[in-house]
Structure 1
Amino acid sequence: MGSSQPPGAEPAANISMPEEVPATPAMTLGQRHGTLTLSQASRSARASAQGPAYGAHFSSGDFSIWLEDSNLLGVVAYVLNVGTVRLSLPALPDRTPRVQAFERSLPPEVIALTSRGGSSLLARHNAEAEAQFVRRFVASLWCCYGSDREPATVIDRYRQVLLPNALKVVPKPLQVNSALGKSQPT
């Protein structure tokens, strides 16, 4: 009997199958989508002569929260296992850019807010504050999903302060990610 394999090929029984890597909640395809709607925070203690303070309404499915802490909002999105976030910004009323949890980069529209020319000084200042809020949100979300790439000094703050606060505001049934990965040694 002849072999159906080409000459020089190993028998199928000797082919090793790649090991399966167990999926963590952050890697699953069942990620939620969210919306981050920025607006100026009224009567905020953080508002100063340096510019307005912003807050955001974050929603994903039936969950919704208003916070002025963009870093905490990023951790809340991580706890909910949000993978894609639509941005609704006052400086971009006719556009809805999106950010991805596993991408560190900002959408070009958000980057352009920091170099707006031709607008009034107040409009430029507000646009820069919006871009800064989004930048911190994206950095926080990226840091949580990539905690195994971050230094321990950074992740310690997330573990000790931000993650416990996020777990307090997200109802238990909606919590998908309740821990951070192991961080890099410092």
Structure 2
Amino acid sequence: MIFTETKLKGALIIDFEPQQDRRGFFARTFCSKEFAAYGLRPNIAQCNLSYNYKKGTLRGMHYQTAPATEIKLVRCIRGAVYDVIIDMRPESPTYLEHIGVKLSAENRRALYVPEMFAHGYQTLTDGAEVIYQISEFYAPESEWGLRYNDPLLEIVWPLPVSEISQKDATWPLMESILIGV
């Protein structure tokens, strides 16, 4: 696997190294030894699959706080998504900064999302499927989210939002979180 660091410490883009012959190719998409050797936590508590009917669907921006902080390994296995993560670690020099990465069935890329990063994506195609390997079990009491269109975050989504859940559309704005409202 090829691990590429991003401007957000601990967040990585992961590409695989295919072994190709006349039949096609074979590649490792996850190896706990390689993850550990790179200093990453390879624990997986659950795997989730998200199917999205319409292009423009937005899911996010979600994260879990202590005691259930989670790491995610996210990959799009059908279609394409624009995946965004936001550094929510107050002590980090990149606190509240974000990156966006295109994940697609075609580029076969994965995004390693560290603990205390908000995560979300917008579908770029109809029928996009995303698989998540997650280090912790879902804990509703630790769940938090950010508004996808928060002016403080300045995320530029590639498409108009065609579908979003009521919950994701109404997360609080950062301004209210920062002043403790």
* TM-score (normalised: structure 1): 0.23
| Higher percent of residues as strand | 2
Name whichever structure is richer in helix by fraction.
Answer: 1
Relative contact order: is structure 1 or structure 2 higher (C-alpha 8 Å, sep ≥ 6)?
A: 2
Q: Rg bigger for which structure?
A: 1
Structure 2 length normalisation: TM-score? 0.23
